[in-house]
Amino acid sequence: MVDYILGAESDQFTENLSRLCGVEAKWVKIRLFPDSEVCPRIQNPEGLKGASVVLVFRAESGRIAPSRYLMLYYLTAMNLKEHGVSEVIAVIPYLPYCRQDKRFLPGEPVSLRYVAQLLEASGVDCIVTVSSHVMGTETPLQDYFSVPAIDLDGFKPLAEYLKSMGRSYSNAVVIAPDEKSLRWAEEVRMEINAARAMYIKKTRDLVTGEISITAPGEDLSGLEVIIVDDIASTGGTLVRAASYARSRGASRISLCFIHPVLIGEALPKLVAASDEVIATDTIRSEVSRATVTKLVASTLSRI
């Protein structure tokens, strides 16, 4: 049973998770030194000895600093264990470095495996994340960890938010930006009772990272299109998919994704390319409308 939820000061995500779990929230005051070194200080650490603690931090859209973000978990988990905490459950809503889950080119690191080792070395006893970049691949997240690693499906909260808007989607098409994501598009389609799901073929250049798409000649005239993806980083994939849908006659385009990384001018591009932009709150952003806190709280109740 969880005793405390520990997170960054005044983070609404932590407060909501604490309320849903029915346990007290404790806070971490995060100090940045001039050279960007981070110093996370546990506020009022009294009573932590022997406790089971959920540790949760969120990154901020447009200001993602993956290495610093992971260091927050590493330093705080180590500190918790030195304060006598019996169990640390790391809720990492957006788990970075998952894109590099293997060596795509000679000499590259297997970053995800090394991140798993880093977290385990900090004393973390369990990992809970949302729609990691390896979800749905041949090698699940658990294979990279020796401690329990739970990879939650973030598309369900997205679909629940769409349903809560009170619109009918009987005339809508759910589009995935690549074949891997088709299963998630199909899941959203079933949840909101949309007409059908389809995917656009996406190819990424392993050297430059440039993405190109090959789209089917579908007639989308007069149809609402909902484009779903796990991550929006530069926004290029979603913008290309929206452009395709618009060129095929779509009457309304919604861009829905789980992790709003949104680097640089990504958000303005997405807004300009669509009628609606919706993300979850795994990362703080102005388009984080759907929440994964209920999903996370439900999972924590079963650990």
pLDDT in tens, 256-300: 999 999 999 999 999 999 999 999 999 999 999 999 999 999 999
Domain with residue 212: its CATH number is 3.40.50.2020
- 266's enclosing H/E stretch is helix 266-273
Instruction: Give yes or no: residues 69 and 188 share one domain.
Output: no
Rounded distance between C-alpha atoms, residue 285 and residue 86, angstroms = 33
Query: In one letter, which amino acid is 20?
Result: L
Instruction: Give yes or no: residues 71 and 139 share one domain.
Output: yes
Residue 202 falls in the annotated catalytic set: yes
How sure is the predictor about 303, in pLDDT bands with cuts at 50, 70 and 90?
A: confident
Q: Is the predicted pLDDT of residue 215 greater than 70, yes or no?
A: no
Q: How many CA atoms lie within 13 A of 117 on its CB side?
A: 5
Instruction: Give yes or no: residues 9 and 86 share one domain.
Output: yes
In a domain, 173, yes or no: yes
Instruction: Give yes or no: residues 11 and 147 share one domain.
Output: yes
Instruction: Provide the pLDDT for residue 186.
Output: 96
Instruction: Give yes or no: residues 258 and 133 share one domain.
Output: no
Instruction: Give yes or no: residues 120 and 183 share one domain.
Output: no
In a domain, 42, yes or no: yes
Q: State the total domains in the chain.
A: 2
In a domain, 286, yes or no: no
Instruction: Give yes or no: residues 45 and 145 share one domain.
Output: yes
- Helices of type H across 83-181: 111-121, 155-164
Closest alpha carbon to 228 in 196, 269, 191, 181: 181
Domain range enclosing 194: 155-281
Instruction: Give yes or no: residues 13 and 141 share one domain.
Output: yes
In a domain, 273, yes or no: yes
Catalytic member of 26, 81, 202, 269 = 202
Instruction: Give yes or no: residues 177 and 137 share one domain.
Output: no
